[in-house]
Amino acid sequence: MSDELNIMEQFKNFGQGHVFDHWEFLSEEEQVLLLEQADSIDLSEIHSLCEGLDAESESLDLSNLNPANYIKRPENGGDLNEWKDSFKIGNKALIEGKVAFFTVAGGQGTRLGFDGPKGTFPITPVQHNTLFQVFSDKVFRAQELAGKKLHWFIMTSLLNHEETVQFFTKNDFFRLDKDQVHFFSQGLMPALSPEGKILMEAKGLISMTPDGHGGALRALVKSGSVEFMEQEGIEIISYFQVDNPLVHIADPEFIGFHANAGSEMSSKMVVKAYAGEKVGHFCSLEDVLTVIEYSDMPYELARQKDDEGDLLYKSGSVAIHILDREFIKRIGSGSDDACKLPFHKAFKKIKVLGTDGESAKPDEENGYKMEMFVFDALPLAKNPIIIEALRADEFSPVKNAKGVDSADTCKEDQLRQWAGWLESVGIDLILDETGLPMTNFEVRPVYAASKHEFLNKWEESDPKPIIQENTVL
Ligand code: UTP
């Protein structure tokens, strides 16, 4: 049987034969594309996901839930010597080239509503540098400090891959070497009707969307990135999202704690701002470190206080992780069913082919998008640890066009952070009551990517820079 007939037969056997209903009306080119799409689908995976698809999600049994332990920062009661030792260990790993950076940039950024990959969104207050340039500058700075070329992996999706690569090419890779930046696309999953049928966007097109940031683990393996890491002696992967320019991508302390604990996956937490804040909660469920999504966390639990009057479940997840290469290999290769990330379903309005032969987005939700989440890997990891980060230092995501977590709030948070750094070297800017300076300026990561680096750089500078409107350090 030809490949073509074989694929069609399999779809029929799995009750998905309708995908090829319009086959004879498609052009040769459309047929090739449809076959390619079909061939990329794991039908037995879809089959198992379809079972109980329209059932209500089971609520989690939280009877054995406790707050997760985490390593406190020294200023909040943590052991300063431990932090200093971790710095040394992490720094050594960076200098030895054992660390690589990894950005997940395959999302669709629907809330931001920006025309183009989110990484190409301008975000700094003076130079309006894009998110990708900010991270490129951070990689540049990190390798300058390490004295060694460090690799950077960027996950795109088929929907934004070309544009992302072109953006880097057009900008000459922001002074990085072309061979140290590695792009690969994540997987796509077909959208499913409540009855478990694969939805068609057009006669020759299956409706497919990115398989979530958890798809990163599979994609790192499938793309050959893990194999490349092995050849290069890269053992530790610093994971961050494309929409948070504050993230400290080469944090020696974080890397050191991770390595010292023999952890396979470690995460940063920030103290939740308020009980109902929409972040995942690091918890211990049946003694296993787990992230409970805000939607799964009953408000009565989220607002519980401890003896000191703080929120009991205070550890918010900010999507900053470190993963071991071998852990990624174990989970991403899918060889062990017990170690697979689960899929989460989201009921959405999905553009589909109508009975009139036209494609349209319905007024009501009509199908499920299936996504994996990277934090679901945490319970599968050996010796996972959580360390505390300061929100003002590390977390200001660009999610929305306006209001909370928007470009405006992110620019202000960058300014507040830099004003804090300046304050610690004795430069007092005029600030409003939230710590926002009245002066618009910018500290590029190639000058300093963290407070620690800033203090060193400032000390070395002679004469000291003067901070005025639109100064760029
Ligand atoms: P979000 O969950 O904020 O989704 O992604 P998003 O697609 O960027 O934005 P919305 O929800 O459509 O508005 C958090 C991070 O995970 C990446 C995103 O690129 C972002 O860095 N991501 C998300 C992927 O890489 N792939 C995905 O399938 C989903």
Say yes or no to pLDDT of 44 above 80: yes
Answer whether 0.75 is exceeded by the pTM: yes
Q: What's the pLDDT score for residue 57?
A: 65
> Is pLDDT above 70 for 371?
yes
Residue 1 has a pLDDT of 56
**Ligand 1 pocket: which of 156, 157, 243, 318 to mutate (most atoms within 8 A of CB):** 243
| pLDDT at residue 220 in the model | 97
How far does the centroid of ligand 1 lie from the alpha carbon of residue 377, in Å?
A: 17
* Per-residue pLDDT at 339 exceeds 90: no
Residue 299: both structure tokens together: 């408000």
Question: How many angstroms separate the CA atoms of 106 and 31, rounded?
Answer: 26
Strands (E), 249-351: 265-271, 281-285, 288-292, 315-324, 344-348
pLDDT in tens, 441-462: 999 999 999 999 999 999 999 9
Contact 208, 190 (CB under 8 A): yes
Average pLDDT, integer, range 140-151: 96
- Average confidence (pLDDT) over 273-285: 93
Q: What's the CA-to-centroid distance between 418 and ligand 1, angstroms?
A: 27
CA 376 to centroid of ligand 1, rounded, Å: 15
Which three-class secondary structure state does DSSP give residue 99? strand
Which atom of ligand 1 is nearest to 111's Cα? 13
Q: What percent of the chain has pLDDT over 70?
A: 99
Report CA(397)–ligand 1 centroid distance (Å): 11
Between CA 74 and CA 82 the distance in angstroms is: 9
Atom of ligand 1 nearest to the CA of 104: 25
**pLDDT score at 287:** 93
> Quick one: pLDDT at residue 50?
86
Q: Are strands 236-241 and 200-202 parallel, antiparallel or unpaired?
A: unpaired
pLDDT over 70 at 356, yes or no:
yes
Residue whose CA is closest, atom 18 of ligand 1?
107
Statement: residue 268 has pLDDT above 90: yes
Q: Give the β-pairing of 385-388 and 265-271.
A: parallel
Residues within 6 Å of ligand 1 by CB:
104-111, 118, 155, 186, 210-213, 215, 241-243, 399
> How many residues appear in the chain?
473
pLDDT tens profile 195-236: 999 999 999 999 999 999 999 999 999 999 999 999 999 999
Protein residue with least CA distance to atom 5, ligand 1? 107
Measure the CA–CA gap between 248 and 445, rounded to whole angstroms: 10
Closest atom of ligand 1 to 397 CA is 3
What structural domains does the chain harbor?
61-399 (3.90.550.10), 406-473 (no CATH)
Cα of 84 vs centre of ligand 1, distance in Å, is 34
Question: 207, 367 in Cβ contact below 8 A?
Answer: yes
Pair of tokens at residue 147: 């004295």
* Span from the CA of 236 to the centroid of ligand 1 (angstroms): 23
List strand residue ranges (DSSP E) for 87-165, in order.
99-104, 152-156
Amino acid 165: pLDDT: 98
207 within 8 A of 190, measured Cβ to Cβ? yes
Q: Distance between CA atoms of 85 and 91, rounded to whole angstroms?
A: 10
Under the banding of pLDDT at 50, 70 and 90, the label for residue 407 is very high
Range 243-256 average pLDDT: 97
Q: Rounded mean pLDDT of 330-349?
A: 87
**What would the pLDDT profile of 384-398 be if each residue is shown by its tens digit?**
999 999 999 999 999
Number of the ligand 1 atom closest to the C-alpha atom of 156:
25
Distance 341 CA to ligand 1 centre (A): 17
Task: Count CB atoms within 10 A of the CB of residue 48.
Answer: 11
C-beta of residue 243 within 8 angstroms of C-beta of residue 119: no
Rounded alpha-carbon distances, angstroms, from residue 91 to 95, 131, 267: 6, 25, 18
Closest residue by Cα to atom 4, ligand 1, is 107
Provide mean pLDDT across the span 371-392: 96
Distance 104 CA to ligand 1 centre (A): 8
Atom of ligand 1 nearest to the CA of 106: 25
Distance (angstroms) between ligand 1 centre and the Cα of 210 equals 9
Residue 285 vs residues 66, 238, 459: alpha-carbon distances, Å: 6, 25, 47
Q: Quick one: which atom of ligand 1 is closest to the CA of 242? A: 21
